[in-house]
A and B are shown apart, each in its own frame.
Chain A
Amino acid sequence: MNGGPTLARQNERLTVTLAHLLVGLMALCFGLVCVLLAESAAPGWDGRGMIPACALAILEASLTTWLLKKREMSPAQTFAYRLAEWVILLILLKLFAEARFGFIHLADNLRALGQNFWSSLLSREFVTAAVIVFAVWQVCVLFNRAIAEMEITYLTFAGDSPPPVAPETHQPFQETLGRHFLLTGGLIALLGGLSLQADSARPLLQAQVTAVIVAYFALGLILLGLTNFTSLATFWRYNRVRMAPHLSIHWVMYSLVFLAVLVGVALWLPTHYKLGLLDTLRILIGYLMAFVAGIYYLILVALVGLQRLASRLFGIAAPASSPPPPPAFEPQQYLQPSGQPIGQGDILNSLFFWAIFIAVLVFAFRQFLMANPQLAAILRRFGLVRFLASLWGWMKTALGQTSEGAAAAIRRGLSRLRRANRGPGVSAGRGYVSLRRLPPRQKVFFYYLALLRRAGEAGAPRQDWQTPYEYEKTLLPDLPEASESLEGLTADFLQARYSRAEISPAQAEHSRSAWERLRQALRVRQKSSRASEEKAGR
């Protein structure tokens, strides 16, 4: 990519050719939607053969752009050229429009021209075809102008004598192309919608329209990616930024992956709903209320249970109270216009749809506010907006903390698993260990390693560099009530581990009882620390 002006020119040619190709395909999509609309709106109009006609117009538009760029023409010359071009194009189109139905039809039509020139010339087929071809041609010309702008920018800054002012990272031609893309996209969507409205009974029309329009947008996004690369590459080349050799290949690859994922997700996400927004909200609130009631019921049951246990322990006659009945949760039935009830799947689908729709709305609004800080400042003057902003901030923090906590818990779990499977440490060995069959020395090992594991779970893990005595010192302040047991078990382990002296079953038993006491102490500690954590959290 950094191989001097020749390579830069080759890249430029490749980029421009690709851009023209993409524009051509996009214009073809536009033509197809027009054809579908014409077929839906005017039953009997036959759109067969319109694809080659549109392709011809696209080819002509591109060729003309190229020719006009090559030969510098005056406005009068350009007008004359355009006129001649369209006369030829219309004649060809007329011949083509009539020839579609056979040469006899064409001969009849030509003959009729002499009798009734205007009505024969402006036949319904011909006019419709001419409008579609003109629209496609116009779309193509519109985009081609932006591409020519891109070409000029590229050549200006990547040439042998670039201007002294550095280019922007975002070029004006990107704006133009983006604008054309969105407006043409809007138009194509409108035409698609109209075609569906005009003939909703036509089989496969919905799928055809969707496929063509999605194809247009996918191609458009590729075009935007290409122009983005061109714009940035111009900036980098001008600023003598060293570009990695495979950057362009990676760019194409990642663009395609990006697009594939995007199109996949867009097609997968729900596009219809059975329940309106208000009904969906009502269901959501209903579920929330049921959840709260459930929690309340569980607490009541626990309290009644405790009350009964206490009365049994102290020999007091049990009160007559019995646990309240579980709260009834009957989801409301929603009916379709046809009178059939809406199923749970449809409700979930609607929930999903509205959640995504609102998320898109919020994101779009946020982007809009970010681009218009003045508007954001005005909005901030309102108390409700400030409240919503602070609520959003709180939710973001809470969500961040939750996800961090979850990630930390996963990391902890993974590291525990890893520790258990490798290296120096605290593992009680792999696989199943039959404690009874172990010799006394191994039993002492087992109890001490079990202590390490349990203490680690209680939040006082042994560092892998710590000796048993060092670890004892760090653990003692946490377990003052079990200090003797800890010292005893540590001493037992040290002897079992490092000396060759015989370890008696009595010693193993001593270790076991020390371990039992320590386990108890650790359990108490774990509970109290959890309680204090919760308190701190509150």
Chain B
Amino acid sequence: MNPIQEFAAKVTANVEKVIIGKRETIELLLVALLCEGHVLIEDVPGVGKTMLARALAISLGGQFKRLQCTPDLLPNDVSGVSVYNQKSGEFEFRPGPIFVNILLADEINRATPRTQSALLEAMQEAQVTVDGVTRPLPRPFLVLATQNPIEYEGTFPLPEAQLDRFLMRLAVGYPAFADEKFLLTHLQREHPINALGQAVDGRQLLDLQRQVWEIHVDDTLQDYIIRLVAATRDHPDLALGGSPRASLALFKAAQALAALRGRDHVLPDDIKYLAPCTLTHRLIVKPESELRGRTAETILADLLKSVPLDLGRVQ
């Protein structure tokens, strides 16, 4: 078992004390952690989105803050504000909740578009500029944002073009019958989140992230990633395809997944497995195609069944 697997096993075991039957989702969250990417968890209320993010944050230790997004949340409420100190006669910077290792932006689509924009920009650049001064955010820095699907009222859908800043978008999904039954019997008294402790040292993550870079990605697979993302750009049903950032995200995520599964090399199946959660939120379907019932998921599924994978030749 390599250090990454050890780390992952500890975190998974800890999170599973709270979140039952969601090993795949936890694995994908760990992939994002290892890639230093942010995650958008999108699902209906009550499936444990917030609990999952909290459990992960607690398991990693480090600074963790939860930001409950509401319509009156201002950009400054996220990034921080310079307060005038009458005694010293100077402005003092009071950092916002974004200055943490793990930020849980709960129900991000309830914040106004401007606040969302400020948060998303800070996520991407890992720094915040307030009153002309740029301040770096601590590392590791991970945003776990949750949101209800946009069909629900009183929300501001995240700007489609900015969703690119999330490494992946995950859906938690309803638990299986047995898992739900287990939940009923075990969580009826006190919620285990209250008793959950730190499982690993979050600072270790920086070192593990560097190890992920060493995972080998064969040339043919690099070509495959580029072809797949390029196919989204030329697709007639898509108004916006994947950007080079999408290719990079898929590349890095595949490396992290391979490491988590104890391999020193990426397999084409890693790429195919990760493509839906790393690409679909970056694709904008044309309105007329939406009318025809096409979604980013179905389009990508079609592409995964049409973009050829070169297995190479005997040389």
Contacts and interface: CB of A to CB of B under 8 A. Distances in A.
Query: Are A and B in contact, CB atoms below 8 Å, in the complex?
Result: yes
A484 B311 CA distance: 21
A465 B216 contact: no
A424 interface: yes
B310 to A, nearest CB: 3
Given A498-B267, A500-B265, A428 B314 contact: yes
A500 B216 contact: yes
B266 interface: yes
A429 B272 contact: no
B192 to A, nearest CB: 36
A191 B1 CA distance: 103
B313 A449 contact: yes
Given A498-B218, A499-B216, A425 B269 contact: no
B154 interface: no
Contacts of B306: 465
A494 B313 contact: no
Contact of A424 (B309, B314, B315): B309
B240 interface: no
B229 to A, nearest CB: 15
B314 A423 contact: no
Q: Is the interface of A mostly helix, strand, loop or mixed?
A: loop
Given A465-B306, A467-B272, A498 B311 contact: no
A107 to B, nearest CB: 93
B196 interface: no
B46 interface: no
Given A465-B304, A497-B218, A498-B221, A423 B268 contact: no
Interface in B297-315: 304-315
A498 B313 contact: no
Contacts of A429: 313-315
Interface in A416-465: 423-429, 433, 438, 442, 445-446, 448-449, 452, 463-465
B261 interface: no
Which range contains the number of B residues in contact with the other chain? 20 to 34
Q: In this complex, which of B269, B308, B313 has the most chain A Cβ atoms within 10 angstroms of its Cβ?
A: B313
Contact of B269 (A423, A426, A467, A499): A467
Contacts of B265: 495, 498-501
Which range contains the number of A residues in contact with the other chain? 20 to 34
Contacts of A442: 314-315
A471 to B, nearest CB: 10
A402 to B, nearest CB: 33
Contacts of B221: 498
A464 B314 CA distance: 17
Given A498-B218, A501-B264, A465 B269 contact: no
B177 to A, nearest CB: 26
B10 interface: no
A468 to B, nearest CB: 7
B314 to A, nearest CB: 4
Contacts of B308: 423-425, 464-465
B314 A465 contact: no
A176 B310 CA distance: 67
Interface in B256-315: 263-269, 272, 304-315
B218 A445 contact: no
Contacts of B309: 424, 464-467
Contacts of B268: 467-468, 498
Given A423-B308, A499-B264, A501-B264, A469 B313 contact: no
A445 B267 contact: no
A470 interface: yes
Contacts of A426: 311
Nearest to B307: A465
A466 B311 CA distance: 10
A428 B314 CA distance: 5
A421 to B, nearest CB: 11
Interface string A479-502: 000000000000000110111110
Contacts of A498: 216, 218, 221, 265-268
Contacts of B264: 499-501
Interface string A124-140: 00000000000000000
Contact of A433 (B216, B312, B314): B314
A499 B218 CA distance: 7
A430 to B, nearest CB: 8
Contacts of A449: 311, 313-314
A452 B304 CA distance: 20
Interface in B202-240: 216, 218, 220-221
Q: In this complex, which of A466, A497, A498, A500 has the most chain B Cβ atoms within 10 angstroms of its Cβ?
A: A498
Interface in A502-527: none
Nearest to B310: A424
A470 B313 CA distance: 19
A489 B102 CA distance: 44
B267 A494 contact: yes
A427 B314 CA distance: 8
Nearest to A463: B305
Contacts of A463: 305
A198 B147 CA distance: 105
A266 to B, nearest CB: 51
Given A467-B267, A467-B268, A467-B269, A497 B311 contact: yes
Contacts of A468: 268, 311
A321 B264 CA distance: 69
B312 A446 contact: no
Contacts of B266: 498
Interface in A140-192: none
Nearest to B265: A499
A216 to B, nearest CB: 59
Q: What are the 7 closest A-B residue pairs judged by CB atoms, nearest first? A: A424-B310, A499-B265, A464-B308, A467-B268, A429-B313, A429-B314, A424-B308
Given A466-B309, A498-B267, 19 more contacts: A424-B309, A424-B311, A426-B311, A428-B314, A438-B314, A442-B314, A445-B314, A452-B311, A463-B305, A465-B308, A467-B267, A467-B272, A467-B309, A469-B267, A469-B269, A470-B272, A497-B311, A497-B312, A500-B265
20 contacts: A424-B311, A425-B310, A428-B314, A429-B314, A433-B314, A438-B314, A445-B312, A445-B313, A446-B314, A452-B311, A465-B306, A465-B307, A465-B309, A467-B267, A497-B218, A498-B216, A498-B265, A498-B266, A499-B216, A500-B216
